[in-house]
Amino acid sequence: MSMTTQIHEKFVALFGEGGEQYAAAGRINLIGEHTDYNGGYVFPGAIDKGIVAEIKLNGTDKVRAFSIDCDEYVEFSFQNDEALPGQQWARYIFGVCREILKRGGKVAGFDTVFAGDVPLGAGLSSSAALESCYANAINELNGNGFDKFELAKIGQSTEHNYCGVKCGIMDQFASCFGKAGCLIRLNCKTLEYKYFPFDSKGYKVVLIDSCVKHKLASSAYNKRRESCENAAAAIRKNHPEVEFLSDAKRVWLDEVRDRIPEEDFLRAEYVIGEVQRVLDVCDALERGDYETVGEMMYQTHFGLSRLYEVSCEELDFLNKLARKMDVTGSRVMGGGFGGCTINLVKEELYEDFVNAAKEQFTARFGHEPKVYDVVVSDGARKL
């Protein structure tokens, strides 16, 4: 049974007819890693995996919600923050309601059933899919007229205020703005964005999930941010227009090389290179030049591994294997220290690559990686 049918049948069983279905997607980021907090570019797209929710106003001031994947039913009100539900999944829906109210929007009580097929915690942002799905649905059902940016911010604030995750805007942005066959270059400083064609005929995008998460991640993340701020501050003394590290030219970094620790220099070298690589990938996509796109992905991996030092043995292993097998592009996706590599693979090579990755990774590390095919697809929408 398809996910939408399963949701509909459960909805009818619990609440009767008359529901409407909404969907929103998880996301990939093709290139542009650790650039967001440096005011640089990211380059995400929505994927063909997401959340689908059936929803109907119920004439009360309460939400009655059923999660198919958790097999749990919850009722909650949302008039004040004290009513925060205990279930993690319900907190996302609650948070979206609260954030809409805080912005002066209307939220009437509703009944809902939802399910999803974004793997949880794999770096594909199942949580953004959940937030964007409900932000969009509640917005439409109550005639609030918030634009997509406001919906993305409602999702981001939900993470900040109700889920304890201080994330940037990229995930919710991609989930709300995604379009089939397009990636979106987002300038994290100005929030200007532009769509670029990504109809990679003859190629597949596949994620190989190492299924490891090394503990270092959050303290290392803060240290990387400090290094970047430190490098930017040194450059700013010569070039006051540098607000974020991404504003700096490569030669400006060289000018301050002996005034900052070598470690900070290497971090900044990666970031400045990465901002340029996003622009190069966009140019390459406009020419349909997927070989260059792939080469840039390898350069990003090299930078993340050797200069920014946020890779790990498992991810370097997967990247090296991809290179050895002539996969077009491969790099670690996300913050690092675990998670997935994103790979751009020629269709004829796909089977061999995936099988080799499973076999050789398992032989080396003792557990199987997971494999997710993704297709760049539409973002939040009514079905």
Q: Which is nearer to ligand ADP, 121 or 288 (CB)?
A: 121
Rounded Cα distance between 28 and 128, Å, is 12
From the CB of residue 201, how many other CB atoms can be counted at a distance below 10 Å? 7
Residue 220 CB-half CA count within 13 A:
17
When asked if residue 126 is in the footprint of ligand ADP (CB under 6 A), the reply is yes
Show the DSSP H helices in 287-312 as ranges. Answer: 290-302
Please state, in angstroms and as integers, the Cα–Cα distance from residue 45 to each residue in 127, 145, 199, 260, 282, following that order.
Answer: 15, 24, 12, 36, 13
For ligand ADP, the binding residue among 21, 112, 127, 330 (CB under 6 A) is 127
User: Residue number with the shortest CB distance to Mg ion?
Assistant: 127
User: Minimum distance from CB of 372 to ligand ADP (Å)?
Assistant: 12
Rounded Cα distance between 358 and 239, Å, is 49
- The residue annotated as part of the active site, out of 48, 81, 111, 171, is 171
Angle at 297 between CA 116 and CA 183, to 5 degrees: 50
For Mg ion, the binding residue among 127, 158, 200, 300 (CB under 5 A) is 127
Task: Looking at residues 44 to 103 of the shown chain, list those that interact with ligand ADP (rule: CB under 6 A).
Answer: 51, 67, 69-70, 88-89
User: What DSSP string runs through 109-158?
Assistant: -EEEEEEE-SPTTSSS-HHHHHHHHHHHHHHHHTT----HHHHHHHHHHH
User: Is 69 marked active-site?
Assistant: no
Report what 88 binds from ligand ADP, Mg ion, none; CB cut-off 5-8 Å by kind. Answer: ligand ADP
When asked if residue 299 is in the footprint of Mg ion (CB under 5 A), the reply is no
Q: Which is nearer to Mg ion, 130 or 188 (CB)?
A: 130
Rounded Cα distance between 7 and 12, Å, is 9
- Please choose, out of 85-93, 107-115, 117-125, 202-210, the segment that lies near Mg ion by the rule CB under 5 A: 117-125
Rounded Cα distance between 150 and 145, Å, is 10
When asked if residue 383 is in the footprint of ligand ADP (CB under 6 A), the reply is no
For ligand ADP, the binding residue among 125, 136, 200, 341 (CB under 6 A) is 125
User: Minimum distance from CB of 3 to Mg ion (Å)?
Assistant: 20
Residues in contact with ligand ADP by CB under 6 A are: 51, 67, 69-70, 88-89, 115-116, 118, 120-121, 123-127, 130
Residues in contact with Mg ion by CB under 5 A are: 125, 127
Q: Which residues are catalytic?
A: 171
